[in-house]
Structure 1
Amino acid sequence: MALRRTFRVMLALSPLLVAMACVPNPPKAAVTDVSTPQPRTATYTCADGVRMTIENLGTSVRVVGPDGASEDMLASPANQNSRYEQAHDAIVIDGREALVMKAGSTPVTCKR
């Protein structure tokens, strides 16, 4: 008798268990390193040996290459301070690292 009752309860609960298993895990928040905030001006050395300077202007950054040429990049989206873009180029700053993405090139990691 108890075995029959257990079987009926399991049959009743199995759709609920299946439904719970189908619910996706909640998305994990992106972790950024806030222990070392971006200074006003910082020099980065990239994995390909290139050095660049990033000047933090608040809602934008100015990137100065080794040849002295500069490019201003706006925050994207405008309400944050780690992702910047201009046309097809972008930079993501995370603590002491910056990921530099240029159109047509492989992304490069740079460290200060």
Structure 2
Amino acid sequence: MGRARAWLRVALMQKKLADYLKILVDYRDEELVDYFEPDALMMSDEAIVIVGLMVGLNVIDCNLCIKEEDLDSQQGVIDFSLYLRSSHHPNHHIQGTVSCPDSPLGLESENMNVV
């Protein structure tokens, strides 16, 4: 598992992850049938779309350590629940907001408040 994590980090630093995965997707019928289930995402047509979206990762400059000793160990889980909205108030109306900003009257009244 540590080698796979190191490979991912190197691919991100080289800005080649999308290129490497595109090669895998191009040869998936010949090479990957032994490693993936037939209904796996990597074997579906959606894999091409995902690889295309991963090209956007090339704009990020990654500087990751690949010589860490803990690449083989279980990584910690990040708790994102603190960043999510509370489900206790789903229709919470904030004072001063317009209920329908897409309508012409809603936009007009909102613009009047700005001036």
Greater percentage in strand: 1
TM-score (norm 2): 0.17
Greater percentage in helix: 2
TM-score (norm 1): 0.18
CA radius of gyration, larger in = 1
